[in-house]
Amino acid sequence: MSLSGDVCVVTGACGFLGKRLVRLLLEEEKMSEIRLLDKEVKPQLLQTLEDCRGDTKLSAFEGDIRDGDFLRKSCRGASIVFHIASIIDVTNSVEYSEIYGVNVRGTQLLLEACIQENVSSVIYTSTIEVMGPNSKGEPIINGTEDTVYECNLKFAYSKTKKEAEERTLQVHDELLPNGGRLATCALRPMYIYGEGCRFLLGHMGDGIRNNNVLYRMSLPEALVNPVYVGNVAAAHLQAARSLKDPQKRDVVGGKFYFISDDTPHISYSDFNHIVMSPLGFSIQEKLMVPLRLFYLFCFLMEVVCMILQPFVRVAPPLSRQLLTMLNTTFSFSYQRAQRDLGYAPRFTWQDARKRTIEWLASQLPQEREKISAK
């Protein structure tokens, strides 16, 4: 089902995934208009999209996701909304009120605006972290949407993303003022990597400071399955096409889908090494200290931060929950998305790795310069 002639809104359009999705929409669909919604939309971004814009109108909508009037204006006349914008925080460094306001309250206001303005479809970008891992570090291997798992979420990020996902799925089939029905679904990507990934840049910076040796924060046997950003963008496009298709709408609507690809199952630390070893980086053979001592160290840091909390907010750089996430086997299949959405990875692992390495290589000189200047 083509999206030709549709008007769509992409929240978080200037972010890592948002930019990739906007370009894909321009390359593959003859849409009437794409609205780039973000806190700031730099003119340079619009200029970089000129080569594939064609006859599609590109509009910048700058504002706060917590502003209901702004969201209604942004959604007026639109038929599809891709809701990607959120605060990503795995160290609990952001105040809970701030992350809740953006991730949950912002999503609720957006859904209300979509209903008021007769938007037909909403695709919500969720995360694998709404599933866990739990504090026990219980593994999942090739999980599916039917996998039962005891989940006690600790991160404010995962809690708020879970609530926002639930709210999005709950309004599926909501009656619209024009007599139509709203269709919604949610996508749960694995850890997303590729050109523009700030986490990879952060790990590379740490490696530079450590004499080109990457830190090992996860055991080699803690296997996960990262997903390439280009494939995640393709999954969003397939979800939008499916929600527009009358024959697929009721199959897909109100459901969530795990999004992965054919990237090898590997630990987070070893993944960093695979994409950075061609650039001259090695990696520590073992964890800096045994895992149990690592947990004890994290616990002590958390206690110190809690004691200081009445006077100053300090977030530990590493928490027990983050350490659990980095050291738990946690992988999921994309078969359900393949069956229902028609999703298939556009990029092979070899191509995705090559593109990621080339991008990291382009960033390496300026990263070294920034670090040496400090």
Q: How far apart are CA 351 and CA 30, in angstroms?
A: 27
What is the pLDDT, as a whole number, of residue 116? 97
Q: Judge whether 2 and 29 are in contact, CB under 8 Å.
A: yes
Mean pLDDT of 55-65: 94
Strand partners, 224: 266, 330
Mean pLDDT of 54-67: 94
DSSP one-letter string for 210-267: TTTEE---S-TT--B--EEHHHHHHHHHHHHHHHHSHHHHHHHTT-EEEE--SPPPB-
Mean pLDDT of 262-288: 96
pLDDT 10s digits, 189-230: 999 999 999 999 999 999 999 999 999 999 999 999 999 999
Tell which residue, 54, 53, 65, 66, has the closest CA to residue 10: 65
Which residues touch 370 (CB under 8 Å, ≥6 apart)?
Answer: 205
Of 46-60, 95-109, 167-181, 297-311, the one with minimum mean pLDDT is 297-311
- Hey, CA dihedral for 215, 271, 17, 49, is it positive or negative? positive
Tell which residue, 111, 105, 128, has the closest CA to residue 169: 111
What is the pLDDT, as a whole number, of residue 59? 94
What is the pLDDT, as a whole number, of residue 50? 87
Tell which residue, 85, 82, 89, has the closest CA to residue 66: 85
Which residues touch 145 (CB under 8 Å, ≥6 apart)?
Answer: 255, 256, 257, 258, 336
Q: How far apart are CA 320 and CA 152, in angstroms?
A: 14
Instruction: State the pLDDT confidence band at 318, using cuts at 50, 70 and 90.
Output: confident
Q: 257: exposed, middle or buried (C-beta count within 10 Å: 0-12, 13-18, 19+)?
A: buried
DSSP state at residue 130: G
Is pLDDT of 271 > 90? Answer: yes
Task: Report H helices in the chain.
Answer: 16-28, 43-48, 50-53, 68-75, 96-100, 106-116, 156-170, 198-209, 229-244, 246-252, 268-276, 291-308, 320-326, 335-341, 349-373
Where in the sequence numbering do the catalytic residues fall? 157
Is pLDDT of 299 > 90? Answer: no
Q: Which domains does the chain have, with CATH numbers?
A: 7-196+224-263+329-347 (3.40.50.720)
Better-scored residue on pLDDT, 50 or 253 = 253
